[in-house]
């Protein structure tokens, strides 16, 4: 990471600069007075005054530093300094596609309701929120890391793309020092709230990521997040992880909390992307219970539409096998909702069967079957090329 962007007055840097300024002033004053101590009467008074000024300056700077460490800009009970320290300690090791058409996660202009890209420079946004634990002697904090892109340039791409990864931390109490906090669970979002939802949850120790950030793979163009490279295709077949390279994170900026934005991130509430809804907890009791039953390895946090995903996956394969490019998967990744899922849930068995049979039959039959799936998904035919790895 190039640098930590903690503003003056938002985490201690302001206090540090006051302290340094006071120290320099004190040294300069003592040096100037020293030149006159050899000059004659009244010098003892001057020396006492210098000592008094020094003590006053240091005491003021120290007080200011302590006050700044208590600043809580988003009013959630955690200081800005504590939130920033946890963001930096648990920053995920993002793996991105070297040829991603959106380049890197973007920096957005402060204070504008409309998300406005300033630069595609590898900025990661964060959110640090205290949670209530049911265990005595345990404190919980949930940390979200948002990779916000200028564009989703996979299938059925669209401007702006809000993705995220999160972690649940624990320590003895909220005042525990940063080094004492440990990760319990990691969550990686992939196509949330669609029938292709492949979001995963895993035990941090199983990933070897309980004391630092987890390694997370972001699919090319679509930017779905995966806790293992091998499961990158678990959505509906529209994700690819190829040519992966570590993301050089330029900065980590705290978004604050809903209704209490930091760094001018008022654009979280824009209707142009589903970002505000991602600021809620990712660690439901049901998801954690499913995870613990499975031994802690990455499991899908929402397995409700598995058969539907299978249908779309087959449709995707058939379309690819035809040498054409279909919108089916891409649109499902982006737009399919529960209504669509319900429609498919009643039809997916027949549809999938038809597709599999069609795959063995004629091109004409294939076209009819894929059109059938497209009809279920309320889609039109594709105009873009498939986002396969570059040759």
Applying the rule CB under 5 A, the residues between 228 and 257 that interact with Ca ion are 257
Q: Contact region for Ca ion (CB under 5 A) — 3-11, 63-71, 78-86, 290-298?
A: 78-86
* Contact status: 261 vs Ca ion (CB under 5 A): no
| Per rule CB under 5 A, count of chain residues that contact Ca ion | 6
Q: Contact region for Ca ion (CB under 5 A) — 25-33, 69-77, 93-101, 311-319?
A: 69-77
Structure tokens at 250: 């330029």
CB of 126 to Ca ion, least distance (A): 9
* Contact status: 76 vs Ca ion (CB under 5 A): yes
* Contact status: 72 vs Ca ion (CB under 5 A): yes
300 phi/psi in degrees, rounded to 5: -70, 135
* Contact status: 9 vs Ca ion (CB under 5 A): no
Structure tokens at 7: 């503003």
Alpha-helix runs per DSSP H in the chain:
13-36, 43-69, 80-89, 204-207, 285-293, 306-321, 328-334, 338-359, 363-376
CB of 17 to Ca ion, least distance (A): 22
Distance CA 210, CA 189 (A): 19
Nearest to 72 by CA among 254, 272, 227: 254
Applying the rule CB under 5 A, the residues between 138 and 167 that interact with Ca ion are none
- Of 74, 100, 152, 192, the one binding Ca ion (CB under 5 A) is 74
* Contact status: 128 vs Ca ion (CB under 5 A): yes
Nearest to 309 by CA among 201, 191, 195, 224: 195
Distance CA 344, CA 307 (A): 9
Q: Which residue has the tokens 């208590």?
A: 70
> Is there a contact between 120 and 102 (Cβ–Cβ < 8 Å)?
yes
Q: Which residue has the tokens 């564009």?
A: 151
CB of 72 to Ca ion, least distance (A): 4
Helix and strand counts by DSSP (H, E) for the chain = 9, 15
* Contact status: 387 vs Ca ion (CB under 5 A): no
Structure tokens at 269: 């509430």
Closest CB to Ca ion among 76 and 121?
Answer: 76
Closest CB to Ca ion among 72 and 121?
Answer: 72
CB of 52 to Ca ion, least distance (A): 37
CB of 71 to Ca ion, least distance (A): 8
Closest CB to Ca ion among 78 and 101?
Answer: 78
CB of 129 to Ca ion, least distance (A): 5
Q: Contact region for Ca ion (CB under 5 A) — 128-136, 200-208, 299-307, 356-364?
A: 128-136
Q: Which residues pair with 254 in a beta bridge?
A: 126
> Is there a contact between 234 and 225 (Cβ–Cβ < 8 Å)?
no
Q: Which residue is nearest to Ca ion (CB)?
A: 78
Interface residue list for Ca ion (CB under 5 A): 72, 74, 76, 78, 128, 257
């Amino acid at each position: 990471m190039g640098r930590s962007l903690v503003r003056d007055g938002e985490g201690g840097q302001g206090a540090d600069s006051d302290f340094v300024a006071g120290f320099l002033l004190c040294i300069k004053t003592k040096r100037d007075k020293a030149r006159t101590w050899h000059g004659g009467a009244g010098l003892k008074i001057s020396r006492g005054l210098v000592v008094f000024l020094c003590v006053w300056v240091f005491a003021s700077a120290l007080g200011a530093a302590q006050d700044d460490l208590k600043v809580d800009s988003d009013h959630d009970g955690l200081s800005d300094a504590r939130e920033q320290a946890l963001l930096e300690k648990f920053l995920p090791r993002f793996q991105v596609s070297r040829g991603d058409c959106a380049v890197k996660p973007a920096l957005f202009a402060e204070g504008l309701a409309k998300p406005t890209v300033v630069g595609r420079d590898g900025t990661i946004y964060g959110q640090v929120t205290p949670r209530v634990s049911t265990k005595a002697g345990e404190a919980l904090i949930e940390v979200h890391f948002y990779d916000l892109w200028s564009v989703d340039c996979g299938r059925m791409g669209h401007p702006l793309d809000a993705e995220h990864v999160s972690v649940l931390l624990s320590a003895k109490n909220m005042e525990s020092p940063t080094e004492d906090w440990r990760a319990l669970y990691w969550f990686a979002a992939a196509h949330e709230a669609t029938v292709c939802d492949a979001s995963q949850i895993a035990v941090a120790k199983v990933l070897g990521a309980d004391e630092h950030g987890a390694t997370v793979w972001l699919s090319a163009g679509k930017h779905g997040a995966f806790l293992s490279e091998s499961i990158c295709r678990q959505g509906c077949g529209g994700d690819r992880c190829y040519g992966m390279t570590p993301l050089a994170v330029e900065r980590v900026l705290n978004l604050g909390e809903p209704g209490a934005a930091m760094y001018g991130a008022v654009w979280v509430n824009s209707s142009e992307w589903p970002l505000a809804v991602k600021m809620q907890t990712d660690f439901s009791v049901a998801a954690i219970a499913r995870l613990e039953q499975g031994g802690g390895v990455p499991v899908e946090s929402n397995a409700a539409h598995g058969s539907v995903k299978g249908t779309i996956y087959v449709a995707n394969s058939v379309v690819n096998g035809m040498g054409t490019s279909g919108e089916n998967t891409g649109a499902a990744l982006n737009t399919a909702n529960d209504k669509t899922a319900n429609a498919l849930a009643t039809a997916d068995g027949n549809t999938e069967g038809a597709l599999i049979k069609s795959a063995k039959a004629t091109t004409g039959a294939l076209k009819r079957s894929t059109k059938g799936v497209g009809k279920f998904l309320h889609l039109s035919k594709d105009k873009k090329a498939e986002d396969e790895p570059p040759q």
